[in-house]
Amino acid sequence: MIQFAMHDGVAVVTLDRPDRLNVFSGGMGAALGDAYARCDADDAVRAVVLTGAGRAFCAGADMSPAADSFAGPGERSGAGPRAFSASPVQPPAWAVRKPVIAAINGHAIGIGFTLAMQCDIRIVAEDAKLAIPQVRRGMVPDAQSHWTVPTATSRAVAADILLTGRTFRGGEALALGLASRALPADEVLPAAMEIARDIATNVHPVSAALTKRMLWADAGPDEVERLETAYHRILMGTEDAREGPRAWSQRRAPRWTGTVTGAWDRVRAAEAESAESSVQENK
């Protein structure tokens, strides 16, 4: 269902059903969730690239009864209403504490595109067909796309894409703000890998995790300010905070020692302290 490979701190996760344009099934969703969890927990992974085998990224859901495309993690379609989930990949890409880059090398339809919208950065093939067509199928969009699409763009763009279910190309996705770059199909994965390798080489892993956490937070400016302050206090005075400027001045790659898993207890404690301070201020 998927292939997993590591290259110099970059995890490459490939949706691997090329004979069926990588259509999504319950098994693929479970495997993708396992791959994301592995990337989140492994400090050797510094960035993640998600792509598709062959000429498509993901052509949508496999709607055959045996596919269990929208079963909850570890569940099957006969287990009752609680088995169903419109967000069948857990954890989603936005919850992984590493930057996740979608290399949309070809068509991405339905859940194929809504899964890409959960990623941090999207590189798309110029001629790829893209759509979230569920309203044309008597359903509603999935994978938290009513949140991810307007968060990435605007409510106006989300209304255009989600309410019409229309098909558009990669070039328009760039114009709408749904993608970071639109390139010829054979340049998509190399471009995504170049970004991922740059992150793996130069970006502090804890800084990236905390910045991503704030980018995806459903928080207003006051809460963001509190989090920025809390996270600055975690990082200020550390060896890595000295190493970053030192490496820059010496024109070399930084040698980071801090890790996401090693810092996370302090992150949780800082967030709890920030939340308590906010409660006290509002009394």
Q: Are 128 and 107 in contact (CB under 8 A)?
A: yes
Domains in the chain: boundaries: 2-200, 204-281
CATH class for domain 2-200? alpha beta
* Strand pairing category for 47-52 and 10-15: parallel
Asked: is 204-281 a CATH 3.20.20.190 domain? The reply is no
> Token pair for residue 46?
């510094």
β-pair partners for 7:
10
Please indicate whether the domains covering 2-200 and 204-281 agree at the CATH topology level.
Answer: no
The residue type found at 79 is: A
Per-residue pLDDT band at 62 (split at 50, 70, 90): confident
Choose between 1 and 243: higher pLDDT.
243
- pLDDT, one tens digit per residue, over 106-133 is 999 999 999 999 999 999 999 999 999 9
Task: Give the pLDDT band of residue 38 (cuts 50, 70, 90).
Answer: very high
3-state secondary structure of 100: strand
Identify the pLDDT of residue 77.
46
Mean pLDDT of the chain: 92
What band does 241 get if pLDDT is binned at 50, 70 and 90?
Answer: very high
Distance (Å, whole) CA 208 – CA 103:
20
Q: What confidence tens digit (pLDDT) does each residue in 17-30 have?
A: 999 999 999 999 99
Question: Residue 279 and residue 283: Cα distance in Å, rounded?
Answer: 6
pLDDT of 280: 67
> What's the pLDDT at 219?
85
| Contact call for residues 257 and 238 (beta carbons, < 8 A) | no
Q: Helix H segments across the chain? A: 26-41, 111-116, 145-152, 155-164, 170-176, 185-202, 205-215, 221-235, 239-249, 260-281
The Cα–Cα gap between 132 and 128 comes to 13
pLDDT of residue 277: 72
